[in-house]
Amino acid sequence: MLKLYEDLYKKYTLVVILGGLFVLFLTLFLTFSIILALFLCTIFIFVVAFFFNIQADKRIKVVSKHYYDCDAETYTKTYETFYKRLKIGITDNKELEPFVRIGLSTGYISLGKNKEALDILSDFNPIFKNTKISMMNKVTYLNNLIVVYRNLKQYEEAKVRLNELSEMINYPKVDNELKYLIESAYMSNKISLDIYENPTKENLKYAENYYKDILKLSKSKSDIVNYNYKLAYINEKLKNKKAELKYLNFVIENGRSLYIVKEAKNRIQEINN
């Protein structure tokens, strides 16, 4: 994570060089032992790295909070900076590329830039198949692809990825927490595909009950706003204008820079006309 932040990385490098030399020379001066001096210098470097990585992790949490608070623009701009650093070879691609690509694709999706999100993810498949990548990243990768293909109305492609997601439940070393995450992502995406590809009354009523229930359990603002938008769509198809307007207004009032705010405003204008 440290390599994602240029200012922190420069400070870390400076402290390691100057501090390491100081520890090295001080130990040599006091003990005249090269082995002890090198040992203490190594410990110093690891301690400094640990401290600066904590600072980097704190910044990542702040960036994530932008997303959960519906500040999609700030979130996405930060990940665009990370991605540029990847592309010019500043950071360790193998270690950080999955994290950055998935984060940036999430940002693009939240801004309605589905083609850009697909570009970020489409050439990512060889990296995805690398078993060293965390299962959490793999789940998010597939989830984002399903959402992008659904938004682009490429439903067959979305179904292929949905099947891949369901197969992950049978992967080795999938604990109960991860299994729950996979099952939740699968169910939410399947229901979304059903109501967008085949908005029958049966599918819509089932989805409405599902999203009302999950809305009660949601904690992040971005999830709450997105579920309200889905409920607005469902009520549009069910021709329940009063409920649709209620959900649309909630999206507009709380969605900040999410693209669905603009979509909600456009829909209200259509209703009023």
Instruction: Give me the pLDDT at residue 174, please.
Output: 79
Q: Does position 92 have pLDDT exceeding 60, yes or no?
A: no
Q: Is 253 helix (H, G, I), strand (E, B) or coil?
A: helix
Q: Does position 132 have pLDDT exceeding 80, yes or no?
A: no
Q: Does position 90 have pLDDT exceeding 60, yes or no?
A: no
DSSP secondary structure letters along 46-74 = HHHHHHHHHHHHHHHHHHHHHHHTT-HHH
Tell me which DSSP letter residue 130 carries. -
Buried b vs exposed e over 60-75: b needs ≥16 C-beta within 10 Å?
beebeebbeebbbebb
List pLDDT tens digits, range 46-71.
Answer: 999 999 889 989 999 999 999 999 99
List pLDDT tens digits, range 190-248.
Answer: 999 999 999 999 999 999 999 999 999 998 999 999 999 999 999 999 999 999 999 99
Record the pTM.
0.88
Contact assessment for residue 191 and residue 210, using Cβ atoms and an 8 Å cutoff: yes
List pLDDT tens digits, range 135-176.
Answer: 888 889 999 999 999 999 999 999 999 999 998 888 877 788
Q: Does position 115 have pLDDT exceeding 90, yes or no?
A: yes
List pLDDT tens digits, range 17-49.
Answer: 999 898 888 888 888 888 888 889 999 999 999
pLDDT interval class at 3 (50, 70, 90): confident
Higher pLDDT, 7 or 256: 256
pLDDT interval class at 126 (50, 70, 90): low
